[in-house]
Structure 1
Amino acid sequence: MARIVWILFLCTIFPGVVGFSGSNVKDVITKLFTTDGYSNKVRPLQSQSVTLIINVEFYLNSVIDFDEQAEVLTTSGYLALTWMDEYLTWTPSDFNGTTEIFLPQDDIWKPDVSLRNTYNSFKGLGSTYLYVKVQHNGDVTWKPFQILKSTCAVDIKYFPFDKQLCEIKFTAWSYSRLEIDLNAGANGVTLEDYSANAQWELTKTSYKEVNDDSDEAAVIFEIELKRKSSFYVINIIAPVILLSVLNVCTFLLPVASGEKAGYSVTVFLSLAVFLTIIASELPKNSDVVSFMSIYLLLMSILSTLIVALSLLQIRMSEWATEQTPIKRFLVLLIKISLFLRCKSCSTKIGPRSSTVKVVEIYDDDKKSLKSVSDDDFDWSDVNDAIDFLFFWLSMIFTCVCTVVIFCLCVTHG
């Protein structure tokens, strides 16, 4: 009984809370559209020289997909647009405390706002089955929900540790800034209903209005996305680095094994496969080149040189010093290799008039020094020197390229 008395008291004091009925809403609609003759073709201001301010907030629900090749960002969300319609006003006390009504969006005036940088054909926001909320003082709230496909320029330089800044631009096509001012309000992009994406991390959101010099009625929402790189590190980067190390290990195989050329060609083809995979993940963009593509290109060039050198070594292994003498620069290559492999080695060069050079090599078995003349070297010594020197040169080159390029990418990310 006390509850019923309390409800009757509320109805007396606040009739707008529970007092108005469906017939009251019909009376309001009749008053607005029949008696007042409301028209959705007229900008809702008594003075048409005044700028209509429309507050816009973007509620982002999710990042559905980011197609880097097509440079298309697909998001889901809705806009919350509010403005004052001076022709949609009434006195609540005249209609039993009716303070708000809901009307189909096409029955009232609304700004023809649409996505400016759309990937698909241009179309207006919302749908015929959506309703707008109208307050008795003329405040109108419109919340059109939509799947948005917007273009976004992709910067692939630091792939897969890259960040992408995408703009979602909304504009009122038929009006200039003198008629309509789209104001992003205080919040801009709202993330209270946002669901995380498995491939991209949303790091920052912002908004901005168009340049003051422009006459366009528009607002721009910015979304910064950071790629989650774990998948690429495990499935692409780690195998590529391991292949680069295996590429250098070609020089550990002796020519006599008969597997050197086949091994080097196999590694080269493996690097080419990964280069194709990465190329398929990136947009066909000639303005910016990915560091990852540069790294794979360098490793492919190195692998090509290793294949060519391996084939040359196989050819040299068939040569005899009697028919094909060893050139002086190859002898120097052998001496450098011997010097680097044995700290006790030293080179003694005779008088300038002498053409005979002697290399002293410390013999661990005999614990003594033995002298070897240039004529004692053969093509197997050349191959051994090439294997030793180019193994370390290739290893240093691979390590430097790997550390420098991936440090640049990771530090940027």
Structure 2
Amino acid sequence: MTNTANSLTTILTIANLMTLCQCQDGNDAKGLRTKLFTTNAYDHRIRPTNDQSAAIDVYIEFYLLAINELSETTETLKTTGFLSVNWKDAFLQWTPSDHGGIDLYHWLQNEVWKPDIALKNSYLDYKSLGVNELNIENFHDGSMNWYPFQVFQTTCSMDITYFPFDRQTCNLQFQAWSYTKDQVNMLSGAKGIELWNFQENSAWSVVNTSWTVDVETYEATISFTLTIERKPLYFILSVILPITMLAILNICVFLLPCESGEKASYAMTVFLAFAVFLTIVSSTLPQNSDSVAIISVFLIVQTVTSTLITFIALGMLRLNSFGEEVKVPRWFASVMRVFKCRTCRRTSVEVAPIECPNEEVKTGFDKKVLHNNDQELVEPEFTWKEVVNFLDVVLFVFFTSVLLLSAVITFTLASSN
């Protein structure tokens, strides 16, 4: 008896729930479509508001999926993403209970009104967003959700002064192209820009996002701003490090003695390696005339330095070939005495005795002095070999200082961004 009562209670409960449930079938959907588009004569060419003098508030959010490319040459940013566009359609409202409980339905984009939003600063042709074959969500209260997915390519004014440690700021400006601000009011959702399932880029990383609404005289434009930072590791390893190594090798030409016969060929080889490498690097550097990268100035300094070192190496070989018949200029000998502390040597003078005129006497410097009737002062002179060795030391220190100073200044300024 108890089991029979329990079974009866279960059957009555299920029957009661079935009376509360409404099954949505094809006829309900057909009836909804007939009511909205036939009975109510919905026209997607009419702004969906009962007060045609009032503006329709359109809320937009931007979902960034990936940064595809940032071209320094054309100054364009290519991204993949989609918009979330929401508004109220006063002509697409219904009571769910009258249509089998349907509270959400989808319509093709070309069947309902939607704001003809276009990318204002597009690098490509101006065209409305979205694809007609895709649907728009329609809730029973008239809320419309549209998600146009697209690859956006926009113009982006770039400043490459701090390349490769630079940050670039690019805007995506959207505007309801055919409507004034009194007809379609462009607003932003709570988030503005959201990195939804964002795919990291190997060359750029997103450091900041923001949005603004610019209301001009006749139109409203919503701007989504992306601040992206370049990842400099590849450029440092493939460009900066090899150039620095070549610059160090270039200075080492002053460590080779002229007698080795390799000084000129070594300097020329390093110079040619510099020229070939810079030709390759020029395609990597941003091609921009509005701003010049600090790293480009560093490369120019190293190229000029390599040219000077090559000329100096050839000149030193010429000096080393001079014989004793060519005297070292006195002013240069004085400079060498100052650097080499030869003042004491200069004051050490040998006096030849006059007992035996025309006698050859060896001095403390192993110099033979031919004496006349009068006493003659003997002052040793520098040879050209000593001059070249002196120049090797001075020029090695000088160009090393130039390399270190230019490198420190360049990378301090570049990384200060």
Q: TM-score, with normalisation over the residues of structure 1?
A: 0.87
Residue number in structure 2 paired with 1:275: 278
- Look up the match of 2:41: 37
Q: Report the Cα offset of residue 375 of structure 1.
A: 5.0
Aligned residue for 2:101? Answer: 97
Instruction: Give the equivalent residue in structure 2 for 1:83.
Output: 87
Q: Sort the Cα spacing of 1:184 and 1:396 in 2 relative to 1 into closer, same or farther, 3 A.
A: same
Match of 1:50 in 2: 54
Aligned to 2:167: 163
Residue 142 of structure 1 corresponds to 146
Tell me the distance in 2 between the aligned counterparts of 1:265 and 1:3: 99
What is the CA deviation profile of residues 35-79 of structure 1, one whole-angstrom value per residue up to 9, with x for unaligned ones?
111111111111121111100011111112222222222111110
Counterpart selection for 2:197 from 178, 190, 193: 193
Contact map agreement 1:75 1:148 (CA 8 A) in 2: yes
Tell me, in whole angstroms, the C-alpha distance in 2 between the residues paired with 1:276 and 1:380: 37
CA contact (8 A) 1:244 1:398 kept: yes
* 1:6-405 alignment runs, 5 A limit: 12-13=19-20, 15=22, 19-210=23-214, 212-322=215-325, 324-338=326-340, 345-348=341-344, 357-358=346-347, 376-405=381-410
Kept in 2, the 8 Å contact 1:113–1:173? The answer is: yes
Structure 1 residue 227: Cα displacement: 1.3
Contact map agreement 2:365 2:380 (CA 8 A) in 1: no
Kindly provide the amino acid, as one letter, of the partner of residue 173 in structure 1: W
Can you list the C-alpha shifts for 1:339-392, whole angstroms capped at 9, x where unaligned? xxxxxx35259xxxxxxx5589xxxxxxxx979976521221221111110100
Relative to structure 1, the CA distance from residue 272 to residue 181 in structure 2 (aligned partners, 3 Å threshold; closer, same or farther) is farther
Following the alignment from structure 1 to structure 2, what is the Cα–Cα distance between the partners of residues 3 and 163? 68
- Opposite residue 177 of structure 1, the aligned amino acid is K
Distance in 2 separating the partners of 1:205 and 1:47: 36
Q: Percent identity?
A: 35
Number of aligned residue pairs? 386
Distance in 2 between residues matched to 1:41 and 1:7, nearest whole Å: 48
Q: Would the alpha carbon gap of residues 142 and 271 (structure 1) be closer, same or farther in structure 2, given more than 3 Å must change?
A: same
- Structure 1: give runs of 5+ residues left out of the alignment: 339-344, 350-356, 361-368
Identify if the C-alpha distance between structure 1 residues 394 and 5 changes in structure 2 by more than 3 Å, giving closer, same or farther: farther
TM-score (norm 2): 0.86
Could you list the runs of 5+ residues in structure 2 that have no partner in the other structure?
1-6, 350-363, 368-377
Greater radius of gyration (CA)? 2
Distance 1:7 1:409, change over 3 A: farther
State whether residues 247 and 264 of structure 1, in contact with CA within 8 Å, keep that contact through their aligned partners in structure 2: yes
**Structure 1 moving runs of 4+ over 4 Å:** 1-14, 357-360, 369-375
Residues 254 and 31 of structure 1: CA distance in aligned 2, closer, same or farther (over 3 Å): same
CA contact (8 A) 2:72 2:287 kept: no
Deviations 1:132-155 (A, max 9, x none): 011111111100111111122222
More deviation, 372-381/30-39:
372-381
